[in-house]
């Protein structure tokens, strides 16, 4: 089983963000945790601050992977391009967020991109990714 983990803008700077809101782990450590917890799954990852690179990763995923874990970061509230790419991609997809979005600013309540995923997980920091990996194994089988 192969899963692509896509991380959007500013997630490369987790170590500079409030760890009580996000995580004490950086993206590389979260990917290592996924590999440790799910050794039978082959994880690949991409992080980009550029919307077009995220769209391209989604567009090419269907031929290479069985599922996607995506944290679009701030693009989750604004990107029609990512929304459309997720709609076109027919493999299982789960959106994750490290922070508990329901406890945050009003504009973060609009999860535009999540509409074209199988579901979303928010508020469990790095465990959001672990939960998504577990659920993807169920959806893929």
Q: What is the side-by-side order of every strand in the sheet holding 67-71?
A: 42-47, 2-7, 67-71, 93-97, 119-122
Structure tokens at 45: 């990852």
- Is 77 marked active-site? no
The active-site residue, picked from 75, 97, 120, 129, is: 97
- Is 97 marked active-site? yes
The Cα–Cα gap between 140 and 128 comes to: 18
The Cα–Cα gap between 91 and 102 comes to: 27
- List the catalytic residues: 22, 97
């Amino acid at each position: 089983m192969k899963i692509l983990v896509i991380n959007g803008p500013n997630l490369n700077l987790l170590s500079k963000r409030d760890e009580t809101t996000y995580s004490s782990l950086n993206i590389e450590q979260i990917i290592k945790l996924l590999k440790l917890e799910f050794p039978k799954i082959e994880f690949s990852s991409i992080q980009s601050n550029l919307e077009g690179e995220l769209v391209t990763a989604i567009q090419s995923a269907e031929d290479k992977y069985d599922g996607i874990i995506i944290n679009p970061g701030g693009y989750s509230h604004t990107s029609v391009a990512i929304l459309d790419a997720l709609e076109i991609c027919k493999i299982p997809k789960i959106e994750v967020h490290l922070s508990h979005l329901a406890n945050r600013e009003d504009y973060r309540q609009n999860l535009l991109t999540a509409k074209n995923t199988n579901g979303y997980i928010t508020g469990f920091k790095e465990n959001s990714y672990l939960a998504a990996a577990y659920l993807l194994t169920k959806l893929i089988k």
